[in-house]
Amino acid sequence: MRVLFSNNNGEEEYTSDSDSASTTSSETPEWDLSISYQPEFGILFDVDGVLARGSNPLDPAIQAVKLLTDTEGNLRVPVAYVTNACNRSHDKAAQIQKWFNIPVSPSQVIHAPTPARLLTEYHNKHVLVVGQEFRQEIAEDIGFTNTCTIENIRDAYPYLDMVDHDNRRRVAAGNFSDNLSFPRVEAILMIGEPQRWESSLQLLVDLLLTEGKPTSAPSSIKDVRQLPVIACNMDLVFMAEACMPRFGHGAFLVCLEALYKKITGQDLEYTALIGKPCEITYRYAEHTIAAEAKKIGITRPIKKLYFIGDNPHVDIVGANLYDRFLKQSKNGNEPIHKPLPRSRSIPSSDALLEQTVQRMDSLLVGTGVYNAEKESEKTDNADVYHGHRDIMHEPELAQPTRYVKDVYHGLQHILEQENFRVAT
């Protein structure tokens, strides 16, 4: 196989013939590019609205992937997929692989909870996992070894859930008691909105007021030590088949924050906020790109990342926040903004590969949430901020490095910027 690259002088040169290897291989591929022609950039894709709508891939995405693959269908640029959805990574990897007929490993898929792999101090604690399908399996996959669910709490403490009138009648007619042997909840991992918001809100507040053991009321609310709370995916709304956006996990968090504040007079504190647009997700994505680069035989450090997304207030804000973080990390002369709140801090971890990226560019596509024509017609709600409480509203952060109509044109722009292409 012969792979064609453009070098830094714009001259096209071929590498020697060699066998390709899957990007999912853990061994060094047999092919070995001359170091002068290896890419120094990686690409991060949002999924829904960029690569697909629902379960169907977009036509521009099918064409776009061909720009990054050699004649045998193997990627020659490191890529990862970053989504605020909450699914099993192996399911999403298999879906993307089927869409584009390229090798995709689960490690390339970064869901909202994935960076919680770095929060190792909580992995062996008794953790309540809030979400819907596969929530405990997802938590186990990212390192949490001892979990329970809202349903387990409800069963252990049958008198707590009085917002459910059916349960109220059930316990009134029976002989129930608290399960005093049920272990204290030591942390809360919220990976997505639950099915029954009213019951979940009640039980979560109960746990927060009783330090994870709701068998007796606290003598003083102000003396309660709040449980660690890890929240994934702060999207207030998302776009589905309905004509208007639907409530997302961020809306559930707003309800929890408001109730906790109303009852205690204090703000709910988050130990960690994870998922786009928080910096920890983009740092984990950089780590993933570095790992993928090694898998496909790239030995040069990755110096630049491109993020292609469809939501300016999530994807683009996050990419710009991380670009700011990178500049502050690398350049002491860069203006310093307010320090990151605790909830958005990036933990130091031996599990992370070295940080080498110096810049992140953001590309906004018009095939998902963002519609250029409709945006130009908007006159109301221009100042309404849908972001999370712990992320300051800075409208300029929603401006992408470049707008492109779809991911195919986005990749064309990236390859032109980098003076890089793979022969077909």
Nearest to 311 by CA among 322, 321, 303, 319: 319
Would you state the pLDDT for residue 173? 87
∠ CA 338-345-343, rounded to 5°: 90
Contact 102, 69 (CB under 8 A): yes
Establish if 151 belongs to a structural domain.
yes
Q: Which residue has the tokens 């790109």?
A: 289
DSSP type of residue 82: E
Q: Is the pTM of this model over 0.75?
A: yes
DSSP for 248-269 reads -HHHHHHHHHHHHHHHHSSPPP
The residues, ordered by sequence, that sit 6+ positions from 413 with a Cβ below 8 Å of its Cβ are 363, 402, 404
Q: What is the mean pLDDT of the chain?
A: 87
Establish if 262 belongs to a structural domain.
yes
Contact 289, 307 (CB under 8 A): no
Establish if 358 belongs to a structural domain.
no
Establish if 147 belongs to a structural domain.
yes
Establish if 390 belongs to a structural domain.
no
Query: Cα separation of 256 and 200, whole Å?
Result: 9
Would you state the pLDDT for residue 22? 38
> Which has the minimum average pLDDT: 70-74, 112-116, 309-313, 382-386?
382-386
Query: Cα separation of 10 and 99, whole Å?
Result: 33
Q: How confident is the model at residue 221 (pLDDT cuts 50, 70, 90)?
A: confident
Distance in angstroms between the alpha carbons of the first and the last residue of the chain: 11
Query: Cα separation of 370 and 376, whole Å?
Result: 11
The residues, ordered by sequence, that sit 6+ positions from 293 with a Cβ below 8 Å of its Cβ are 39, 42, 78, 302
Q: How confident is the model at residue 188 (pLDDT cuts 50, 70, 90)?
A: very high
DSSP type of residue 324: H
Higher pLDDT, 330 or 172: 172
CATH number where 168 lies? 3.40.50.1000
Would you state the pLDDT for residue 36? 54
Query: Cα separation of 327 and 359, whole Å?
Result: 7
Query: Cα separation of 106 and 104, whole Å?
Result: 7
Q: Which residue has the tokens 């960029």?
A: 50
Establish if 145 belongs to a structural domain.
yes
∠ CA 61-64-67, rounded to 5°: 160
What are the Cα distances from residue 119, in Å, to 45, 191, 201, 208, 363? Answer: 24, 14, 24, 20, 30
Kind plus residue range of the DSSP H or E element containing 78: none
C-beta atoms surrounding 304 within 10 Å: 19
Domain count for the chain, please give it: 1
DSSP type of residue 368: S
Q: Is 52 helix (H, G, I), strand (E, B) or coil?
A: strand
The structure tokens listed for 126 are 């008794």
For 127-182, the pLDDT digits (tens) are 999 999 999 999 999 999 999 999 999 999 999 999 989 888 988 888 898 999 99
> What domain range is 204 assigned to?
115-274
For 89-116, the pLDDT digits (tens) are 999 999 999 999 999 999 999 999 999 9
Establish if 119 belongs to a structural domain.
yes
Establish if 377 belongs to a structural domain.
no
For 341-367, the pLDDT digits (tens) are 889 999 989 999 999 999 999 999 999
Would you state the pLDDT for residue 290? 97
